[in-house]
Amino acid sequence: MNQNSPLDLRPLSIAELFDRSFRLYRKHFGTFLGIMLITQLPIYVFGIATATVENQAAVAGFAIIAAILTLVFTQIGAAALTKSISDSYLGRTITFRESFERIGGTWFTLIFASILAGLVVGGVIIPFYCMFTFLFTPLSRTSLVGPIILGVGFVIVGAIANVLISLIPPVVVLEKKGPMDSVKRAWEIAKKRFWWSLGYLFLLGILSLLVISGPVALIQFLFETVLGDTSLLFRTIVGDTASSLLSAIFMPIRLAAITLMYFDLRIRFEGFDLMVLSAASDAPLDDASDLTAQRNL
Q: How confident is the model at residue 213 (pLDDT cuts 50, 70, 90)?
A: confident
Higher per-residue confidence, 213 vs 90: 90
Q: Confidence band (pLDDT; 50, 70, 90) for 292?
A: low
Residue with the larger pLDDT of the pair 39 and 56: 39
What does the pLDDT read at residue 45? Answer: 85
Rounded to the nearest integer, the mean pLDDT of the chain is 82
**Dihedral angle of Cα 239, 203, 115, 183, to the nearest 10 degrees:** 160
Residue 285 pLDDT class (50, 70, 90 cuts): very low
Which is nearest to 109 in space by CA: 178, 166, 169, 170?
Answer: 178
pLDDT at residue number 37:
93
Q: What per-residue confidence (pLDDT) applies to 67?
A: 85
Report pTM.
Answer: 0.83
Q: Count Cα neighbours of 150 within 13 Å in the Cβ-side half-sphere.
A: 18
Checking if the pLDDT of 232 tops 70, the result is no
**From its phi and psi, is residue 36 left (phi > 0), alpha (psi between -120 and 50) or beta?**
alpha
Residue 258 above 80 pLDDT?
yes
Decide which of 161 and 293 is more confident. 161
Closest CA to 254 of 204, 199, 213: 204
Sorted by sequence, the CB contacts under 8 Å of residue 154 that are 6+ apart come out as 125
Top mean-pLDDT range of 16-30, 53-67, 84-98: 16-30
Query: pLDDT category, 252, cuts 50, 70, 90?
Result: very high
CB-CB contact of 39 with 77 (8 Å): yes
pLDDT at residue 274 greater than cutoff 90: no
Of all residues in the chain, what percent carry a pLDDT higher than 90? 44
Least confident segment among 8-17, 105-114, 195-204, 219-228: 219-228
Cβ neighbours of residue 251 closer than 8 Å, sequence gap 6 or more: 36, 77, 81
Evaluate if residue 44 carries a pLDDT over 50: yes
pLDDT digits (tens, 9 = 90+) for 135-181: 666 655 566 666 677 777 778 888 888 999 999 999 999 999 999 99
Check residue 133 and give its pLDDT: 67
Contact 65, 127 (CB under 8 A): no
> Where do the structural domains in the chain lie, given as residue ranges?
14-292
DSSP sequence for 243-288: HHHHHHHHHHHHHHHHHHHHHHHHHHHH-HHHHHHT-S--SPP--S
Q: What is the pLDDT of residue 99?
A: 92
pLDDT given for residue 4 in this prediction: 42
Q: Categorize the per-residue pLDDT at 29 as very low, low, confident or very high, splitting at 50, 70 and 90.
A: very high
**In the predicted structure, residue 83 carries a pLDDT above the cut 80:** yes
Region 80-103: mean pLDDT is 92
> Mean per-residue pLDDT for 119-126?
80
Contact 43, 244 (CB under 8 A): yes
Per-position b or e across 263-278, b if 16+ CB within 10 A of its CB: bbbbbbebbbbebbee
